[in-house]
Structure 1
Amino acid sequence: MSIRYIDEIKDLEGKKVFMRVDFNVPLDDNQNITEDTRIRGVLPTINYALDKKAKIVLASHLGRPKGERKEKYSMAPAAERLSKLLGKEVKLAPDCIGSQVQAMVDAMKPGDIVMLENVRFYPGEEKNDNEFAQALVNGCEIYVNDAFAVSHRAHASVHAITNFIPVVAAGFLMKNEMNYFDKAMKNPIRPLVAILGGAKVSGKIEVLENLCDKVDKIIVGGGMAFTFLKGMGYNVGKSLVEEDLIETAMKTYEKARAKGVKFYLPVDCVVADQFSATAENKIVPIQEIPESWMALDIGPASVALFSEAIQNAKTIVWNGPMGVFEMDAFSRGTFALVTAVANSYALTIIGGGDTDAAVNRGGEASRMGYISTGGGAFLELLEGKKLPGIQVLEEKGNK
């Protein structure tokens, strides 16, 4: 089954389009948006609908209000930023359901945009409640999902709402996400290299197991590498290790080797005597990590090894940093690999908030093939899972 996209809908003029977006953007203490990539990402879909003279009702969540109205999680900053980006007014509704919202939507003219208040102010959103979903519709005739980053959640505005709107489609951001994922996983130009980092194996062991059947090389860095290294008999000091997953990690490692997948782990690291930006630190081979020290970044020899491993890559998928890159002393490994990936001649697909942040801080975002807006959704696709928000588009998109 294929997904129908917004440009395949014949008549949008004058129609009320309920568009699920992901404006869950970072805010500072003064409620100012510090990074607006997710808002900019849906501009092509919004502009397309505007050009077709649709009436656009936007829905999103922000933060984790846990089913209660909390003003610090209001969509007001997102509505204001979108207004500036579009050069036209985006009206913020006082709520996401109810008579006041219905009156605003009924009064819309072609080309108007109304942003609903945070859908997670109601517990029914995360419970995928049909009654709440039906209340969200507000008379809309077309549903468009352009929120890839939440499509791994069976939430009311992503899933149940499709039971109550007759025409269902996806936006252009979703189209990009799916197209690039297909290029990486379904029909890749090889060699295909997967780079995985981050703190823990537990969040990515299923990804690794699935990748063993698909990729040519796996590079593992970050804190998760030390669960593997401990399983291989290395003394890793006080480095992060998930003891209960050592056996699972080693089975995955052996599966990769049995499949002929090249599996790369760090050969040196930057260690510190404590988890602190001001800690004493030094570079040591993996075999020489001091008993009371912890590894917080990969070292220069690992950077050289990993960089060499991706030199002949034609497709690279990367999720997770190589160290605690938020601290300058432990950022060099991640940023060096950012440069190496940018310098490769491969199609590069970056997924996950931390990796996205590292690529942007490393000044190489413009040289990457594609940067995904979804962290959890991206990982679940890599695990081979069906995402509820995408599955329902496939099931109902052509009806």
Structure 2
Amino acid sequence: MAAFHTIDDIPADSRVLVRLDLNSPIEDGEPQDNRRFERHAETVRELADAGHRVVLMAHQGRPGRDDFTSLSGHAAILADHIDHDVAFVADTYGDEAVESIDALGAGEVLLLENTRMCDDELPEASPEEKAETEFVQTLAPRFDAYVNDAYSAAHRKHASLVGFPLALPAYAGRVMETEYEANTAIATREFDGPVTMVVGGTKATDVIGVMDALDDRVDRFLLGGVAGELFLRAAGHPVGHDVGEMDLFDEQWEANRELIESVLDERGDAIHLATDLAYEGSDGDRAEVAVDDIDEKTEGYLDVGSETVTAYEPPIHESDAVFVKGALGVFEDERFADGTVGVLEAIAETDCFSVVGGGDTSRAIEMYGLDEDDFSHVSIAGGAYIRALTGEPLPAVETLEAAAAEQ
């Protein structure tokens, strides 16, 4: 377990500044409810019920993007999840924010405006530099404790994530605790039986790096998605390149070709590749073709085929631990959900330690009526999950650990 303090350790009746990650899809200008609100609600509810004065920080989007909006709508969604009023102030550390913070009563909750609307927040810099920003220097004196619950943003060196732990006693929220423990399990836990990793998604560069880093921790990899097709290309099949308007394969192939070929050469016996692939047939229905029967890639392949799903089930059933990074197909279209859902169902049936990572893949659990309780952990982190799997440092976690060592 990480060497940081948790919200159980906060002294009674504290003024607590809490960093969440409520970054959400925006539709028609409104944030959409999602798993992040539900998860972070546990931390906020516990702090409010304990009688602390709770002030929340979060971000939404990034300057210049369509989803860069105010957090006013987020407050209402969060309030529904914690069954408790969440006040909102359209300011982060100006006079209006400070007045609202100072007026807060015991057990009350206040959400500040989007942290990324502050000039001090975004540029990546050292925790020491971030701690000296006006943002941190203005808010920190008004609080007794800082809580970081934003594990999914822990790979960022932003002021709200790494500056405050140098200025205040710092603690981990429930999401930070559970995400850290589950996502570092592959590096820190001993498993009696085989460890399997399901690798898919569209960001092949990420998952290939994970495969390389986890070489000695994973007994077998089950591949699909873009990464799976690139590995098939490395194995000599005429797939794994762009056709038509597609822009997914060629650039990632050029960037990763040597690494893919070396991983395949060194760990070929541990790497399970698709034996058939699915595509949209001329009638609009799902069609499948055996990989060995492909002479030329003329279609965009959107899922692994049914033979592959069947072949992937036994290795999963025999595993002591299964980690998932990325979907095996375009599961948002139910015609091409068989691979992703089939593998998730096999994991759910298996009495193993299981982590399903990446926001997109975890959505399939909800979309197709699977029970989240059948998995040890369903992660809401993307970039931080990748970092944890590859053993790269997470700056926001490191600052929590450093703060604990000094407290």
TM-score, normalising length: structure 2? 0.89
Unmatched segments (≥5 aa) in structure 1: none
Q: Does 1:162 align with 2:165?
A: yes
Aligned partner of 1:6 in structure 2 is 7
Aligned partner of 1:28 in structure 2 is 27
Secondary structure in 1 aligned to 2:258?
Answer: helix
Q: Give the CA deviation at 1:308.
A: 1.6
Partner Cα distance (1:36, 1:200) in 2: 22
Aligned partner of 1:201 in structure 2 is 204
Which stretch of the first structure deviates more once superposed, 245-254 or 348-357? 245-254
CA distance 1:280–1:361, shift in 2 (3 Å) = closer
Whether the 8 Å contact between 1:270 and 1:284 is mirrored in structure 2 is yes
CA distance 1:145–1:6, shift in 2 (3 Å) = same
Aligned partner of 1:262 in structure 2 is 270
Aligned partner of 2:78 in structure 1 is 82
Which stretch of the first structure deviates more once superposed, 265-274 or 153-162? 265-274
Q: Give the CA deviation at 1:247.
A: 2.1
Q: Does 1:305 align with 2:311?
A: yes
Aligned partner of 2:173 in structure 1 is 171
Residue by residue over 1:303-353, the C-alpha shift from the partner in whole angstroms, topping out at 9 and shown as x without a partner, is 011112111111111010001222233222222222112112212111101
Aligned partner of 2:396 in structure 1 is 389
Q: Does 1:315 align with 2:321?
A: yes
* Structure with more of its chain in helix, by fraction: 2
Aligned partner of 2:87 in structure 1 is 91
Whether the 8 Å contact between 2:21 and 2:150 is mirrored in structure 1 is yes
Runs of 4+ in structure 1 off by over 4 angstroms are: 278-281
Q: Give the CA deviation at 1:238.
A: 4.8
Which of 282, 295, 299 aligns to 1:293? It is: 299
Aligned partner of 1:144 in structure 2 is 147
Q: Structure 2: which amino acid aligns with 1:191?
A: P
Aligned partner of 1:253 in structure 2 is 264
Partner Cα distance (1:200, 1:163) in 2: 34
Whether the 8 Å contact between 1:144 and 1:169 is mirrored in structure 2 is yes
Aligned partner of 1:119 in structure 2 is 115
Aligned positions, number: 387
Q: Does 1:329 align with 2:327?
A: no
Q: Structure 1: which amino acid aligns with 2:39?
A: G
Task: Name the Cα RMSD after superposition.
Answer: 2.2
Residue by residue over 1:101-145, the C-alpha shift from the partner in whole angstroms, topping out at 9 and shown as x without a partner, is 111111111111110000011232111543133234361120000
Aligned partner of 2:245 in structure 1 is none
Among all aligned residue pairs of Structure 1 and Structure 2, give the percentage whose two residues are the same amino acid.
Answer: 27
Q: Does 1:185 align with 2:172?
A: no
Aligned partner of 1:224 in structure 2 is 227
Aligned partner of 2:287 in structure 1 is 282
TM-score, normalising length: structure 1? 0.91
Secondary structure in 1 aligned to 2:204?
Answer: coil
Whether the 8 Å contact between 2:324 and 2:357 is mirrored in structure 1 is yes
Which stretch of the first structure deviates more once superposed, 129-138 or 21-30? 129-138
Residue by residue over 1:71-93, the C-alpha shift from the partner in whole angstroms, topping out at 9 and shown as x without a partner, is 96111121111222223221101
